[in-house]
Structure 1
Amino acid sequence: MKQQLLRNFLDSRTEPVCAYVYDLAHLRRRAERLRQALPPQCSLFYAIKANSDAPILQALLHRTDGFEVASLGEVERVRAIDRSVPIIFGGPGKTDAELEGALQQQVMLIHIESEHQLRRLDWIARRRHQVADVLLRVNPAQLPQDAKATLRMGGEATQFGIDQAQIPAMIELALSLPGIRLKGLHLHAISNNLDAQTHLAVLTHYLTLAETWQQRYQLQFEWLNVGGGIGVNYGVDHAEPQAQFDWERFCNGLAALIATHRPGYKMIFECGRFITADCGYYLAEVTDVKTTHGKHFAILRGGSHHFRLPVSWQHDHPFTVLAREAWPYPFARPAVQDAPITLCGELCTPKDTLARDAHVARLRAGDCVAFLLAGAYGWHISHHDFLSHPHPERVYLDG
């Protein structure tokens, strides 16, 4: 989004600014670009946990192949946008009500995380005189040695998926249950990976596992869900984000991988942050600038109760300063020039810090800080009502 659009927004506000601003036109272009780069055998689903706002979902409708959800509430958010768009349903803790709701709402695929979950779904589906289409989520025994990422959901002991050693028995059970139709596998073991070559190595491992079980049981899977896990680089020089995941290189490598393995099934990618992160900005006005114990601090109208991501991931978030010349007071304007400064929110805790010791050319009370890459896991993972401060505006600009 051009800075002029953000400035136009700022100029229209008189109260201390605190807002999420989303660029929907940019989001649509990005989703289309990502989807078109994938090989034809692949589908791109949006994991709505990253940002489930209705305008975001509406912008991505028909620009992705469907939506990935992790609760019945998320199913209902999608169905409020469209009654027939494909939905795939993940998550380790699905209740009976959620499984029944998924069937009622015509969810395309349900990802099964355990034997108990599979048997409950079969029981519910038969009671409803339905058959549920499922993928078995695999927690692989190991991953390639260089598969390093911010989070690991598989390849080690976690609450996610079915232990690889149990998969043969689970396949046999799924094939025996009248309320279940086994459509394939779901493997999603790493999160926020930034390296294309590493991701290709992980997918090679996934394809090998799928081939092994297809051959052993004389099956032809329809789908292999390879998860999301493609990350966003929040590393900063406090002015511009650093290099991001090389999607073009990855898609070229993926096409070669598919040509080599020739899988008969389609592959699903369920990306969240990678799609929406750079369509959003979190704007917070500087309400005070001060110095304590020789360090400079800017206090913001906002903080981690609105934008928890930096605290949650323990990083200094990239930002830019939007200068505002209006100053209504008849006394000097607090400011810092050509110095490091720490950006803090308005909460009563020293953990409410969004960036530490960031060098600024100038930052004054009354200026506004625009945090970049705030379109995913910002508002939606934050503790909104702590201290009962007002919520930020949420603005969707289009065109």
Structure 2
Amino acid sequence: MNKRLTEAVISRFRNQEGPVCAFVYDLDHLHRHVRKVMELLPERCEMYYAMKANSERPVLETLAPLVHGFEVASGGEIRKAREAGETIPVIFGGPGKTDEELEKAIRMRVSLIHAESLHELRRLAHLAQKLDGEVRVLLRVNLAGPFPAGATLHMAGRPTAFGIDERDVPTVLEELKRFRRVRLEGFHFHSVSNHLQEETHLQVIRHYMSKAKRWAKEHGLALTRLNAGGGIGVNYRELDNQFDWATFCSGLGELIERELPETWTLMFECGRFLTASCGVYATEVIDLKSNHGETFAIIRGGTHHFRLPASWQHNHPFEVVPVEKWNRPFPRKEIREEPVTVVGQLCTPKDTLARNVPVGRLRIGDLIVFQYAGAYGWAISHHDFLSHPHPDHVWLPVERREADRESV
């Protein structure tokens, strides 16, 4: 676990009165990690931060000077992006954009809109005419695939609500020629999510390039951009075995030299890969009990704060932080060298964050600290189910180094 985060959890919550429940974020780790990502990114590439992973203001303000822009998926996220940076480039995606959101995007100078259907393109053309403006778009295409089996989620290659069916692309491109105020910049392909294999992800991007170049040639398109989406994952099972960004970028640079037209820019819009490692979710064990041969640790909190484990149905990695304080006038229950299932306070058996995970020692009053909780944690959770209190949010600031001062 991030040493700075561990020390922060211990120092802040060791003597707290009342049950502990908090997200703790290391903005310095986030800054260092993303700066390294950007340094390794090959030429003719741009990295946009997918705000859906974590749209908290301190995260956005930390990332705004580092990335090329923000990727948003709602009118609310457009507002948050603009609050974090008035001039930072913003790209707008999502399959269900309302007219109000599209109009807001045009008025708030969104750089690109990912068009998800012919109907959406027609609406954009109508709104651009109404506002006397021009809209730059990427066509999001649901490719036929096949795609690697190693990804956790697939948005293409199967029936989903995302993008334009590959078979319909020629028809859409022909009609698009009639829209004078809608300018096609390129294609958007986000087909897989949480992919962990560098070489096969390069194969996916090579497939994207091939499709885009073929359509550009067949339809006489003067394209400038290809958006490869996000899809680069986090290994929650083996935290020491993460996606090798340096190896990937080395292969990507070679692929760009061979396959990407000289006038094109390759775009990425990563979320989880950038922010997951900067945060932890720390909760206190408020009870230990056994039912039908299984031991349960009940924590202060649960999936209404940190929904990712239940959503993905995985055991989220955690560490136990011992707390020696015990002021109760009765024995303190503990378990040793046995598996435990970690559950929250909600009145549903689905409120489970990890099942049958071996622990050396765990006591009521100890802290369970879930790692890699900086993405899709608080952001995707049903905060007010049962009206439990919200967790604390603790932000460890960016530490200014000499190299940072010299670059300012």
Query: 2:56 is matched with which residue?
Result: 53
CA distance, structure 2, for counterparts of residue 163 and residue 350 of structure 1: 38
Secondary structure of the equivalent of 1:177? coil
CA distance, structure 2, for counterparts of residue 143 and residue 255 of structure 1: 24
Query: 1:358 is matched with which residue?
Result: 357
Greater CA drift, 291-300 or 13-22 = 291-300
Query: 1:96 is matched with which residue?
Result: 99
Q: Is the 8 A contact 1:147 1:202 kept in 2?
A: no
Q: Which residue of 29, 32, 35 maps to 2:35? A: 32
CA distance, structure 1, for counterparts of residue 260 and residue 199 of structure 2: 20
Q: Is the 8 A contact 1:285 1:367 kept in 2?
A: yes
Q: Is the 8 A contact 1:143 1:202 kept in 2?
A: no
Greater CA drift, 2-11 or 223-232 = 2-11
Query: 1:173 is matched with which residue?
Result: 175
Query: 1:280 is matched with which residue?
Result: 279
Q: Kindly, what percent of the aligned residue pairs are identical?
A: 51
For the aligned residues, what is the CA RMSD? 1.2
CA distance, structure 1, for counterparts of residue 64 and residue 18 of structure 2: 34
Which AA in structure 1 matches 2:118? Answer: E
Taking structure 2 as the reference length, the TM-score comes to 0.94
Query: 2:345 is matched with which residue?
Result: 346
User: Which runs of no fewer than 5 residues in structure 1 stay unpaired?
Assistant: none
CA distance, structure 2, for counterparts of residue 12 and residue 225 of structure 1: 49
Q: Residue by residue, what CA displacement relative to the aligned partner does 1:348-393 show, whole Å, maximum 9, x if unpaired?
A: 1121111111111111011100000101111111111111111101
Greater CA drift, 258-267 or 107-116 = 258-267
Query: 1:186 is matched with which residue?
Result: 188
Q: Which residue of 77, 85, 88 maps to 1:85? A: 88
Residues 185 and 320 of structure 1: CA distance in aligned 2, closer, same or farther (over 3 Å): same
Are positions 1:269 and 2:268 aligned together? yes
Which AA in structure 2 matches 1:185? Answer: F
Query: 1:250 is matched with which residue?
Result: 248
Q: Is the 8 A contact 1:235 1:242 kept in 2?
A: no
Q: Which residue of 189, 201, 212 maps to 2:203? A: 201
Q: Residue by residue, what CA displacement relative to the aligned partner does 1:218-237 show, whole Å, maximum 9, x if unpaired?
A: 3231111110011111115x
> 1:298: Cα distance to partner?
1.0
User: Which runs of no fewer than 5 residues in structure 2 stay unpaired?
Assistant: 400-408
Q: Is the 8 A contact 1:297 1:343 kept in 2?
A: yes
The list of structure 1 runs, each at least 4 consecutive aligned residues, that deviate by more than 6 angstroms after superposition, is none
Query: 1:297 is matched with which residue?
Result: 296
CA distance, structure 2, for counterparts of residue 188 and residue 295 of structure 1: 41
CA distance, structure 1, for counterparts of residue 15 and residue 248 of structure 2: 42
Matches within 5 A, 1:64-83: 64-83=67-86
CA distance, structure 2, for counterparts of residue 316 and residue 156 of structure 1: 27
CA distance, structure 1, for counterparts of residue 246 and residue 289 of structure 2: 45
Q: Is the 8 A contact 1:126 1:178 kept in 2?
A: no
CA distance, structure 2, for counterparts of residue 188 and residue 293 of structure 1: 44
Secondary structure of the equivalent of 1:176? coil
CA distance, structure 2, for counterparts of residue 152 and residue 158 of structure 1: 9
Which AA in structure 1 matches 2:264? Answer: Y
Taking structure 1 as the reference length, the TM-score comes to 0.96
Query: 1:17 is matched with which residue?
Result: 20
Q: Size of the alignment, in residue pairs?
A: 394
Which AA in structure 2 matches 1:104? Answer: R
Are positions 1:306 and 2:305 aligned together? yes
Secondary structure of the equivalent of 1:291? strand
CA distance, structure 2, for counterparts of residue 118 and residue 130 of structure 1: 14
Query: 1:160 is matched with which residue?
Result: 162
Are positions 1:320 and 2:319 aligned together? yes
> 1:173: Cα distance to partner?
2.1
Q: Is the 8 A contact 1:234 1:242 kept in 2?
A: no
Q: Is the 8 A contact 2:209 2:260 kept in 1?
A: no
Query: 2:224 is matched with which residue?
Result: 222
> 1:12: Cα distance to partner?
5.5
Q: Is the 8 A contact 1:327 1:366 kept in 2?
A: yes
Which AA in structure 2 matches 1:206? Answer: Y
Q: Residue by residue, what CA displacement relative to the aligned partner does 1:216-265 show, whole Å, maximum 9, x if unpaired?
A: 233231111110011111115xxxx2511111111111111111114220
Query: 2:152 is matched with which residue?
Result: 150
Secondary structure of the equivalent of 2:177? helix
Which AA in structure 2 matches 1:174? Answer: L
